[in-house]
A and B are shown apart, each in its own frame.
Chain A
Amino acid sequence: MSTTQKISIRGLKIGEDQLELLGETVTELVGDAGTVTVKEKGSEGLQIRSRHAVAVNSKFADIKIRFHGANADVGIYVGNDGQIDMAWDGYVVRGNETLKQAFEGRADRHTFEKNLNAMFVAKTFEETAIRKGFVSSGIKRVSLQKEKMGQFELELDTGFSNAFSGDEQKNTLSGSLGGGF
């Protein structure tokens, strides 16, 4: 008998207090294709349903999606280290016409996970910039029909922010942007 069990989304870890932003991201990405529920702070989580047995470590999710027309849920889990896991089965989204329209004809788990990852990164950049005094144009998903994929775009205006110095560094990334500047 099959078991529904959570599996990590490659590379994506959320920061402290980002569950709300993740919930907002999932809700926007799902759109009219289904219903999203985010657990209350401090609660055990949201029990998910599957056609199969659900693994013990996957029974309670932080975010639950029920796509229209499906009789099972998608569970999204945030680990102690911020790692994002998802538990779901392909039939939950297969044939979902709303997702197909949104994702260039694709309605599969891999596409949804990649879009969730990209949209959450874009939202984190936007939220960080706004918090530091920038003005955002808003995030839009641009569909690249020829490549059968999409990307998330936003423009940030530095405005009159003079906050480019003196702030405490919270997340350290190495790398050089190189010459020309």
Chain B
Amino acid sequence: MGKIKVVVTEEGEIKIEAKEGFEGKSCQEAIDFILNNLPTGFEFAELETIRHGNFSIVAENPQQVYTQQD
């Protein structure tokens, strides 16, 4: 079990953050799992950044950018 916090700002920035309960790669897998199962045809704005953290790892994670694939 783990918790993910999702924040969507008015400027279209999406932040996804691991809150608790994740170890190893499970958080990334959970985030990827949601992103990979978004409805067919759904697209968000052109410039979106996604940040994620993991409370179990003391390290700065750089901001990540997602773009739609053609």
Name A's B-contacting residues (CB within 8 A): 10-18, 81-82, 111, 114-115, 117-119, 121-122, 124-126, 128-129, 131-132, 134, 149-160, 163-164, 167, 169-181
Interface contact A129-B34, CB-CB below 8 Å: yes
Interface contact A151-B8, CB-CB below 8 Å: yes
Contact of B40 among A15, A111, A176 (CB under 8 A): A15
Interface contact B64-A175, CB-CB below 8 Å: yes
B44-70 vs A: 1/0 string, CB under 8 Å? 111000101010010101101111110
Interface contact B2-A157, CB-CB below 8 Å: yes
Count of A-B contacts with CB under 8 A? Answer: 172
**Measured between alpha carbons, how far is A137 from B25 in the docked complex, in Å?**
23
Q: A118-B12, A169-B37, A177-B31 in contact; A153/B3 too (CB < 8 A)?
A: no
Q: A11-B45, A132-B33, A163-B33 in contact; A155/B5 too (CB < 8 A)?
A: yes
**Measured between alpha carbons, how far is A151 from B7 in the docked complex, in Å?**
7
Contact of B62 among A118, A132, A164, A178 (CB under 8 A): A178
Distance in angstroms from A2 CB to nearest chain B CB is 28
**Measured between alpha carbons, how far is A150 from B13 in the docked complex, in Å?**
12
Q: Across the interface, which residues of A come within 8 angstroms of B5, CB to CB?
A: 153-156
**Measured between alpha carbons, how far is A119 from B44 in the docked complex, in Å?**
11
Interface size on B, residues (CB 8 A): 51
Report which residue of A10, A126, A180 has the largest number of chain B beta carbons within 10 angstroms of its beta carbon. A180
Q: Across the interface, which residues of B come within 8 angstroms of A160, CB to CB?
A: 1
Name B's A-contacting residues (CB within 8 A): 1-12, 14, 19, 21, 24-46, 50, 52, 54, 57, 59, 61-62, 64-69
Interface contact A180-B59, CB-CB below 8 Å: yes
Distance in angstroms from A10 CB to nearest chain B CB is 6
Contact of A128 among B39, B61, B62, B68 (CB under 8 A): B39
New contact pairs (15) apart from A11-B46, A114-B12, CB-CB < 8 Å: A13-B43, A14-B42, A17-B39, A125-B6, A128-B37, A128-B39, A134-B34, A151-B9, A155-B4, A157-B1, A167-B37, A173-B66, A177-B50, A178-B62, A180-B61
Report which residue of B3, B5, B52 has the largest number of chain A beta carbons within 10 angstroms of its beta carbon. B3
Interface contact B45-A12, CB-CB below 8 Å: yes
Q: A157-B1, A181-B24 in contact; A128/B34 too (CB < 8 A)?
A: yes
